[in-house]
Amino acid sequence: MKKKIAITGVSLYILFCGFIYLYLFVFQDATLPANLVGTSIDPATFLSREELLLSEQYSKIRDLLFFLEIPYEWLFYLFILLFGLGKVFYRWANEYGKLELLKSAIFTFCLSLLSFVCFFPFRYIRYTLSKNYGISTQDFSSWMRDGMIDFWINWLMLFFVVAVLYWLLRKSPKRWWIYAWLLTIPFTIFYMYIQPVVIDPLYNDFYPIQNKALENKILDLAGTAGIPAEHVYEVNMSEKTNALNAYVTGIGANARIVLWDTTLNRLADNEILFIMAHEMAHYVEKHIYIGMVGYLLLLFVCLFVVGKLLNLAIKKYGEIFAIDSVQSLSSLPLLLLIVSMLLFATSPLTNAVSRYQEMRADRYAIELTQDVEAGVETFQELTKTGLSQVDPPALVKWFRYGHPTMKERILLIEQYENTTDNK
């Protein structure tokens, strides 16, 4: 039975890889509709022929890696279960750990280390890809340092979550998922509060914007929007990338708007102000808080589904997967497999909500700055520096894009301009 499941899993993965390759490299036509050719949306109007070629190549390879890694993760957990590695890790945890907390630490460390090793090829390929296409400027030692920080942070979070989760499973086998969800609320709020001041600085240096003339313009714009301006920071991303970005992070007193220094170096002041207006929209419309509430509601449903599927899977495959009970740490790979599948299945929904919020932020930026030209030029520059596709395939948009496509963003600006001109 184990052999049959393994062969089926590998066969499905190979078929999926073939489908995704054909979908991205053969069946997709990157040609824009005739009515958009020669407009500000057409990448041929703001990219060189070489940049157009590189953009198509880079986007397709990057998307291919994304879609190949997701089911690879499912195979990873499946083979851990089939080869009984979960039971081996559990035995080691029992041998070297007396307390349940120490057992959880040993088990999650073994699982995290194996995961780090098995997924390293994907991470390295993405790194070399971005390096070869001129996106990344980060040297290997710095990249490895970030990878090790990721490892320890991810392990600590996994250890904490697993320790609490399996304590709840032992105490309340039927209602554990409700209690887990209730505990998620303060944990999520706490994590979002400390992220800007504790976690993010582990990777980069954050400091107030150094260009004082630009700072005054941002202060004026923030005043117009009714936003406290002390939450605007610059981060030294030029040491790692040529790409541009800005984002909103944190909540409460630690909420801040962050601009990459690459954005400050590459864009004109009016383009930076357009980006700032976009980020201010997230603050004004409380997208962080709305997103957090939406995340918690979705998590409530997912935890309920995970609980049901976990019990059903152990009843049917518990002996094959060497899982004695739901309460055993050896069930963790199965739980993570179910969670990974649910996250992938719900990503089109969460991405659609995110794109809606980003579209609202774009509209707010246009209305606040009244600078249509800056908006168009900003999105064109973002496309150029990130080697992004203006109009990606549907599956890529559904599963990868938390922002509207560049085609949609520039169309929104042009529609706003036409509406304004007709008034």
The answer as to whether 267 is a domain residue is no
The answer as to whether 144 is a domain residue is yes
Count of domains observed in the chain = 1
The answer as to whether 241 is a domain residue is no
Is 234 among the catalytic positions? no
- CB neighbours of 40 closer than 8 A, spacing ≥ 6? 46, 376, 380, 410, 414
230 is in an annotated binding site: no
Side-chain-side CA neighbours of 299 within 13 Å: the count stands at 17
Note whether 407 and 362 are within 8 A (CB).
no
Tokens of 309: 């599927």
The answer as to whether 8 is a domain residue is yes
The answer as to whether 156 is a domain residue is yes
Would you write out the chain's pLDDT as a tens digit for each of its 423 residues? 888 889 999 999 999 999 999 999 998 877 888 888 888 899 999 998 999 999 999 999 999 999 999 999 999 999 999 988 988 998 898 888 778 889 999 999 999 999 999 999 999 999 999 999 999 999 999 999 999 999 999 999 999 999 999 999 999 988 999 999 999 888 888 888 888 888 888 888 888 888 888 888 888 887 777 776 566 788 999 999 998 888 777 777 777 778 899 999 899 999 999 998 998 888 888 888 888 889 889 999 999 999 999 999 999 888 888 888 888 899 999 999 999 999 999 999 999 999 999 999 999 999 988 889 999 999 999 999 999 999 999 999 999 999 999 999 999 998 886 666 555
249 SS3 class = strand
The answer as to whether 63 is a domain residue is yes
Residue ranges making up the domain that contains 134: 2-203+286-421
Residue 23 CA, distance from chain mean position: 23
- The pLDDT of residue 335: 94
- The pLDDT of residue 250: 74
Is 63 among the catalytic positions? no
Task: Given the residues 63, 200, 234, 362, select the one marked as catalytic.
Answer: 362
The answer as to whether 251 is a domain residue is no
The answer as to whether 249 is a domain residue is no
- The pLDDT of residue 417: 66
- The pLDDT of residue 420: 60
List phi, psi (to 5°) of 235.
-130, 140
Place of tokens 């605007």: 232
Q: Output Rg (C-alpha) for the chain, integer angstroms.
A: 24
Q: Which residues pair with 208 in a beta bridge?
A: 233
Note whether 206 and 235 are within 8 A (CB).
yes
Note whether 302 and 173 are within 8 A (CB).
no
- The pLDDT of residue 418: 66
Note whether 275 and 259 are within 8 A (CB).
yes
Exposed e or buried b for every residue in 368-395, given b needs 16+ CB within 10 A? bbebbebbbbbbbbbbbbbbbbbbbbee
Note whether 414 and 40 are within 8 A (CB).
yes
Tokens of 357: 């919020």
Distances (CA, A) of 234 to 135, 143, 395: 19, 21, 34
- The pLDDT of residue 421: 57
Other Cβ atoms closer than 10 A to 26: 7
Q: Using the 8-state DSSP alphabet, how is residue 135 labeled?
A: S
> How does strand 246-249 pair with strand 256-260?
antiparallel
- The pLDDT of residue 405: 94
358 is in an annotated binding site: yes
Task: Given the residues 200, 271, 279, 377, select the one marked as catalytic.
Answer: 279
408 is in an annotated binding site: no
pLDDT in tens, 251-277: 777 777 788 999 998 999 999 999 989
